Amino acid sequence: MTASSGLTINRERLHRRIEELAQIGKLGDTGVCRLALSPEDLQGVLLVKEWMEDAGLQTRIDAFGNLIGWLDGKDAGKPLLMAGSHIDSQPYGGRYDGVIGVLGALEAAQTMAEHGIVPEMPIEIVAFCDEEGCRFNKGLFGVRGITGKLEEGELDRTDASGVTRREALLSFGGDPDRFDAAKYAPGAIGAFLELHIEQGPVLEALGRPVGIVSGISGPLWLTVEMTGFAGHAGSVPMPMRKDALVGAAHAIIALNDLARSVPGAPTVGTVGSLTVFPNSRNIIPEKVTFTVDLRDIDMVRRDVREAQFRRMLADIAVKYGLTYMVREDTNSEARYCAERIKAVMRTESAGLLDQVPPELMSGPFHDSLAMSQVCDYGMIFVRCKDGISHNPLEYAAPRDIELGAELLYRTMVRLSTGEGG
C-alpha cells in the first residue's frame, strides 16, 4: 500500500523524538528498559513534558504519575478529546511500544496548533503511568487511577527489590493523598484515541502499513502457587516425593493445551514468570509460583478455559500430593471500539491511503481497555516487523509510523472540529 497524498504532520520531528526518547534506558543497540516509576521512566516523562510545553501545551504530572498536556478548546464545558498511550517499557523491551502513541498524539496536537486549528472541546495528550504492569505485576495503573478503577492494596504491591508502589510513586512525584482530586468526573471525557504498534503479525501478512482496531481481547491474569515438600534430591524415592515443580510443569503444559484446543480460535495462554523455592540443584522444589495470562475475544470461551484449567490444577495437586492457591490479578472483559470513531478513520484514510485499512482485533491490552469503561474509544495499529514486540528487535518502519500518526491527526481534527483534515 502506498500513500496517495502528502503528510500534514512533521515527520522529521516525530522520528527525532522517537530516537531521542529511545536513548533513555537504552538496552543494547535497539532495546529499552524504562520500568514504571523508575528513574529512567521519570527522565523520559520529563523529556516528553518539555516537548509538550515547546508545542504550546499546558502540562501537569498528576497524582497517579500520569503526564498530561492539554490544549484549550472553544467550549471548556464540552467533554474533552483525549489521546495518548504510555512510555514505560518491559525490562527487555523495544522503542516503539506505547511511545508512538504518545509522541504521535503530541505531533497531532502540535500540528493542529501550528495550523491554527482550534478544537471545539479541550484536547488532552496523555502518557499514562505503568501500562505494562511488569514491575508491580498489575498494569494500566495510571489510566485505572483517573477512571476510579484502582483496587484495594495496589499501593502495597512490591517489585523484585521489595520497593512498594507507594514508595515508587512518591519518589516519582505522585501523591496518593490527591487520588480523589485527580479522578475524572463521569462524562468528562468524550472519546479516547490511541495509536500503537500491532504487536502481532497480521498487518505484515496482509502487506498493509496501518489497521483500524475493532476491539481488545479480555485479559485474565492469575498467580498460581503450588506447594509440596523439600527433600534431598538423592535420597527421597520418586513415589514418595511431593515435587512442586513437577506439578507446576504439568499445569503449564495443561494451559498450553487448553489454549490450542480450538484450531483457529484467538485464545492464547502464557506462563511468563516462574519462581522456584528453594531453587537449589539438589533439593526437591517445595514451592513454585507462576503467572498465567489467558486471553480471548470470546468471554464465554475464555471462562470455559479458565474453569477447565482450575479443574486440572486440582487434579494435578491430588496426583502429586501438593496444595495450591490461585490469586486473580486482572480480569477484564473484551471491549469493542466505537463505530462512530471507526467510521471517521475509514473516511479519513481514503484521502491518505489507496484503500481503507483492514480492521483487526487486539490480543494485547492497552490503556484503551480501561478508557473504554468511561468513553468511546478508537485505536490505530501500525505494522511491526515479524509481529515482534516486548523485545529489543521490535521495529516499525518510519513510513508506517508516519501514516499511522497522520491518520491519528486527521481523526483528531475531524472529531474535534467536524470539518475533517
Binding site membership for Zn(2+): which residues?
86, 97, 132, 196, 390
Percentage of the chain with pLDDT > 90? 91
| Mean per-residue pLDDT, 391-403 | 97
Whether the pLDDT of residue 4 is over 80: the answer is no
pLDDT at 419: 53
Question: How far is it, in rounded angstroms, from Cα 420 to Cα 405?
Answer: 15
Q: Which residues contact 339 (CB under 8 A, 6 or more apart)?
A: none
pLDDT at 163: 98
With cut-offs at 50, 70 and 90, classify the pLDDT of residue 314: very high
Question: How far is it, in rounded angstroms, from Cα 368 to Cα 348?
Answer: 21
| Mean per-residue pLDDT, 193-197 | 98
Binding site membership: which residues?
86, 97, 132, 196, 390
| Mean per-residue pLDDT, 74-101 | 97
Question: How far is it, in rounded angstroms, from Cα 282 to Cα 305?
Answer: 36
What grid cell was written down for 68? 498530561
Q: Return the number of other C-beta atoms located less than 10 Å from residue 182's C-beta.
A: 18
Where do the structural domains in the chain lie, given as residue ranges? Answer: 11-217+334-417, 218-331
With H, G, I as helix, E, B as strand and everything else as coil, classify residue 103. helix
Question: How far is it, in rounded angstroms, from Cα 222 to Cα 324?
Answer: 13
Cβ atoms of residues 364 and 199 within 8 Å? yes
pLDDT at 351: 83
Question: How far is it, in rounded angstroms, from Cα 14 to Cα 405?
Answer: 9
pLDDT at 124: 98
With cut-offs at 50, 70 and 90, classify the pLDDT of residue 363: confident
Region of 133 on the Ramachandran plot (φ > 0 left; ψ -120 to 50 alpha; else beta) = left
Measured CA to CA in angstroms, residue 119 lies from 18, 109, 280, 289, 351 at distances of: 26, 10, 62, 51, 21
Q: Which CATH class is domain 11-217+334-417?
A: alpha beta
Measured CA to CA in angstroms, residue 365 lies from 97, 133, 348 at distances of: 12, 11, 25
- Whether cis (ω within 30° of 0) applies to the bond prior to 278 is yes
Question: How far is it, in rounded angstroms, from Cα 52 to Cα 56?
Answer: 7
Q: Return the number of other C-beta atoms located less than 10 Å from residue 26's C-beta.
A: 15
DSSP string, 7-76: -SS-HHHHHHHHHHHTTTTEETTTEE---TTSHHHHHHHHHHHHHHHHTT-EEEE-TTS-EEEEE--S-T
Question: What digits encode the pLDDT tens for the residues 109-127?
Answer: 999 999 999 999 999 999 9
Please name the amino acid found at residue 402. E
| Mean per-residue pLDDT, 245-251 | 98
Question: What digits encode the pLDDT tens for the residues 206-221?
Answer: 999 999 999 998 889 9
Question: How far is it, in rounded angstroms, from Cα 130 to Cα 330?
Answer: 14
| Mean per-residue pLDDT, 152-157 | 96
Cβ atoms of residues 243 and 308 within 8 Å? no
CA angle 352, 358, 363 (to 5 degrees): 125
Torsions phi, psi for 135 (to 5 deg): -75, -45
What single DSSP character describes residue 205? H
What topology does CATH give the domain 218-331?
A: Alpha-Beta Plaits (3.30.70)
